[in-house]
């Protein structure tokens, strides 16, 4: 008599009523039993409960979940990358950026970044974004500059003595939603450039000098909040809102 293969023996005994899998919610069909066995490793695993098929491929997250500030910051950085690479013009970049800061859910953020490189690998939540370390910039009979792409820390301190400096936030990457800048000028000058969407608070004072408050005010809902504090003595701290030009 010809040898019977293992699957055929299982089939024969199964049809005879032996070794039938026990399923308290219903009988598992023989085809499903074989499909789930090691004899068919290429088959997609599916569970049968009664007459309902349930796959294990469930979505990993709900697109309607509310996004965090760190999620908005990550997408804003993706947009800045795209603008720097010439994938987005300044007009489209600023339009998308405003929508990103106003976004409330993951679904809204995904729609605004789905056509950009790296969007599918973006981590979710606070794991993917950490504030840059606190930074001190000094200009003593010299100068400092922060322009173009750079990481804005949560706390930034600047000091100018017989010197000057420029802080340009228009093309920078914010690493946290709230930023504090402490600026001190003694017989020196500093300029801080802020993009239109940023929410700006100024609490500085000038002593025989200037500490500019004219740019203070609300920007766009959800955009980073920047607080500038400090003083100027026989010097100046100028704060200006300035639109972006073609990416610098």
Tens digit of pLDDT for each residue in 71-106? Answer: 888 899 898 888 888 888 888 988 999 999 999 898
CA–CA distances in Å: residue 236 to residues 121, 241, 248: 44, 16, 26
* pTM for the whole structure: 0.68
Q: How many angstroms separate the CA atoms of 77 and 88, rounded?
A: 13
Query: Tokens for 205?
Result: 């004072």
Q: How many angstroms separate the CA atoms of 174 and 152, rounded?
A: 5
49 contact partners, CB below 8 Å, separation of at least 6: 23, 25, 26
Residue 60 has pLDDT above 70, yes or no: no
Q: Which residue has the tokens 């929410």?
A: 199
Least confident of 111-120, 130-139, 164-173: 111-120
Q: Model confidence over 201-246: pLDDT tens digits?
A: 999 999 999 999 999 999 988 899 999 999 999 999 999 999 988 6
Q: How many angstroms separate the CA atoms of 84 and 86, rounded?
A: 6
The mean pLDDT value for 161-184 works out to 95
């Amino acid at each position: 008599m010809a040898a019977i293969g293992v699957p055929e023996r299982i089939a024969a005994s199964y049809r005879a009523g032996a070794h039938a899998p026990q399923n308290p919610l219903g009988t598992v069909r023989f085809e499903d039993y074989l499909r789930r066995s090691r004899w068919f490793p290429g088959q997609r695993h599916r569970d049968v409960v009664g007459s309902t098929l349930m796959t294990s491929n469930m979505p990993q997250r709900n697109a309607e979940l509310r996004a965090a500030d760190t999620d908005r910051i990550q997408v804003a950085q993706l947009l800045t990358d795209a603008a720097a690479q010439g994938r987005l013009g300044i007009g489209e970049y600023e339009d998308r950026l405003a929508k990103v800061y106003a976004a409330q859910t993951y679904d809204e953020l995904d729609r605004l970044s789905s056509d950009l490189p790296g969007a599918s690998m973006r981590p979710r939540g606070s794991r993917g974004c950490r504030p840059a370390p606190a930074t001190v910039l000094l200009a003593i009979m010299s100068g400092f500059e922060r322009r173009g792409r750079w990481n804005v820390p949560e706390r930034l301190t600047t000091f100018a003595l017989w010197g000057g400096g420029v802080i340009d936030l228009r093309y920078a990457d914010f690493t946290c939603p709230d930023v504090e800048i402490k600026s001190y000028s003694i017989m020196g000058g500093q300029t801080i450039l802020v993009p239109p969407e940023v929410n700006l608070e100024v609490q500085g004072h000038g002593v025989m000098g200037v500490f500019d408050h004219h740019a203070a005010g609300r920007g766009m809902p959800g955009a980073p909040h920047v607080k500038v504090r400090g003083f100027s003595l026989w010097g100046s701290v100028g704060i200006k809102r300035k639109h972006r030009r073609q990416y610098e």
